[in-house]
Amino acid sequence: MRARLTGKRLTALGAGAVATAFAGVLAVAPTASAEANPPGCGKGYFCAYSGADQSGRLLLRVAGNWSGNLAVGSIFNNGVAYPGADHVDVTSYLNGQPSTDCFHYNPGPGRYKANAEAGLRITRVVWRGEC
């Protein structure tokens, strides 16, 4: 069975919401206006941070596809509207089990940022169209 990032892997956050650690509860971000750029992550980039809620060190900032092996505390898709390439598929591993989930760009609708469960590693980010 495939574990989803929104359940056991990454907990999505709404603007100003506090995530319940890996309870699988989603708080959808408002669609009226974009959330402020997180530290070091300008518009057009997908970013990963060492801490929860886009805190700690900026570990990854990419405007294109990426592959590697990176332990993260949180992620943020700060992409811009661009047909066919504004959402991202994020592939992660936790305890040897892979999962791939799609994230919309800030401000949504839908999830565009998330906190990671301890031990989660991302291995691939692929820009794509709608989720």
* pLDDT tens track for 36-90: 999 999 999 999 999 999 999 999 999 999 999 999 999 999 999 999 999 999 9
Domain span holding position 41: 5-128
Confidence (pLDDT) at 119: 95
Q: What is the mean pLDDT of the chain?
A: 81
The reported pLDDT for the residue numbered 108 is 87
Q: How far is CA 37 from CA 11, 91, 93, 107, 123, in A?
A: 19, 23, 27, 10, 23
Q: Cβ–Cβ contacts within 10 Å for residue 22, how many?
A: 17
Q: Which pTM value belongs to this model?
A: 0.78
- For the record, the structure tokens of 102 come out as 């799609």
Number of domains in the chain: 1
